[in-house]
Structure 1
């Protein structure tokens, strides 16, 4: 009798970007750390919780460097590798850069997962890197209690095309390029409650490269970029607000959702990370009194390999949205705006 395949999602306490540290805990840890220091060529460090570090070279070229890894949110090893790779590469695109190579980060519970499963994870990541046009040039592996996979990614961009999360301007429009609901779908996957067609939609969105970010960075009317991952739309929206010292306004009804996201939330598929995100950010968020609870859960839903949040000149928002949709992001939408005022996020 053959041994049943190992369900990767059952070997981890959390999955995807939902296994990030509690944002309140993370803030406390980072508050006690020294700043990156007075390095003239360090254009982006750890001061604004941005997506990647950026270092300027002599000729005006910048190096963009990031790392991202997590535990499985799916059971198919190749899909796990592809999703994790897409998520890691996204940080480079979110800075306006283009990736040039990656290094694999691998932690596996030796003896619990067969070698062919680990090989499939690595192959999935490598296939996605090939789609992005970059090699996996090396890496590091260790024996860990839970499966972990991800990448360190290096990219480049021109100095004038670096796009931070902190440079939004009052009057800007906000565009979100991918629908929310990845965390909710992940919870359903773990409980084997997601239909095959919904799983296919989940994989399609989480493996869609955010390469449009590099194209948008060439447009002077695109002022700020970030990707929406483990802290949800509210958490990453607040990073924009705090970095710019402005108010981010999110129009709840305009936010795109995966097809069954509302239904699954109403059925109880809410992650622990969603609750942690709300506890960490609620003191800086104003909600309308009649906002349904299911919608609030989706605003804090942790996204794995989520979309880009784009702050751009309002007069060009329609044209920029059309560019994003033409790049393959059919559900991209204008979801809010930036207003003058003390750092906060308001849902309307």
Structure 2
């Protein structure tokens, strides 16, 4: 076997206990960890978006009528191809800036690598994937930080700019507003199947490497003020946080929610991550599931990596998957 063949045969997902955003700390545990972590005296007035509701990025107002957006995101391999993993991780990190209505300006790499276990030339492919996505986004990529790590991890810290008076935030939802979803669900279960079997799903890679830039710009142009992206906590988890922060109930039209080809079959075949099951357990006390059973619920709770935007408002080209209504007994209701 040649050196090239050996390297292409390496399955990165086998070197990680989890994959992509499914390896996040569960939302309930995370909220307990960060509860009360505020500066003495409270946050300053120029911190427009901070820890309060768990928005996707921090936003600080600066002079000149602008705001700085800051975020960081990294995770273990979600696919075996190193270049694709780099692209996915970079797309996911940039998404946090788009999710609050900003534009990324500069990013730095965050890298953990088992240097005695995996070939270093694979790192070059990971970083090249990240660079290509940053370039496509018009975002500078300048250096970063690396550590010798038992598990491979990659992502970015990203800084962007926004108009502080035209932001997308999770506490801006209002009753009577439709809910749009800009990418189909199902990458989580397909990635879990990929990790278990080695089967490759190009449709999932295509979704995970699509920037949320156009969706964010379209949402702002349509006058939206409320959004979040759908990542590790699944549609149900992220929409619950939005509904809770906005003081409304989110009604989901289950039949209108788009899914990737093969996603439902993956659920039926048992390729469901622990992160997805934890997402569902977290939201169930706040969910009126109606007539829907476990298969539908697991798809709605599927831990996405580099998913789309959930926007309170209509976004051209994106399906409307529900609406926000006055607060009911449950924060989420399936229809």
Query: CA separation in 2, counterparts of 1:85 and 1:245?
Result: 32
**Is contact 2:249-2:326 (8 Å) kept?**
yes
| Distance change in 2, residues 1:337/1:297 (3 Å) | same
1:1-20 paired onto structure 2 within 5 Å:
1-2=1-2, 4-5=6-7, 6-20=10-24
Partner of 1:328: none
Partner of 1:34: 38
- Does 2:228 align with 1:223? no
| Distance change in 2, residues 1:161/1:217 (3 Å) | farther
Query: CA separation in 2, counterparts of 1:128 and 1:48?
Result: 29
**Is contact 1:96-1:213 (8 Å) kept?**
no
2:137 equivalent among 103, 128, 132: 132
Moved more, 25-34 or 81-90: 25-34
Query: CA separation in 2, counterparts of 1:180 and 1:61?
Result: 34
**Is contact 2:167-2:225 (8 Å) kept?**
no
1:113-150 CA-to-partner distances (Å, cap 9, x unmatched) read: 10110111011100111110112112000011100000
2:262 equivalent among 260, 263, 267: 260
Structure 1, unaligned stretches of length 5 or more? Answer: 326-331
Partner of 1:339: 325
Query: CA separation in 1, counterparts of 2:132 and 2:125?
Result: 10
| Distance change in 2, residues 1:77/1:117 (3 Å) | same
Cα offset, 1:159, TM superposition: 1.6
Q: The residue matched to 2:44 in structure 1 has which SS?
A: coil
1:248-282 CA-to-partner distances (Å, cap 9, x unmatched) read: 11111110000111111111111111111111121
- TM-score, length of structure 2 as denominator length: 0.95
Query: CA separation in 1, counterparts of 2:177 and 2:131?
Result: 37
Cα offset, 1:2, TM superposition: 3.8
Structure 2, unaligned stretches of length 5 or more? Answer: none
1:185-196 paired onto structure 2 within 5 Å:
185-192=190-197, 194=199, 196=200
**Is contact 1:12-1:147 (8 Å) kept?**
yes
Cα offset, 1:32, TM superposition: 4.2
**Is contact 1:35-1:46 (8 Å) kept?**
no
Query: CA separation in 1, counterparts of 2:288 and 2:272?
Result: 21
**Is contact 2:166-2:225 (8 Å) kept?**
no
- TM-score, length of structure 1 as denominator length: 0.91
1:170-221 CA-to-partner distances (Å, cap 9, x unmatched) read: 1000000000001101111112253x5xx11111100000002441353363
**Is contact 1:235-1:277 (8 Å) kept?**
yes
- Does 2:176 align with 1:176? no
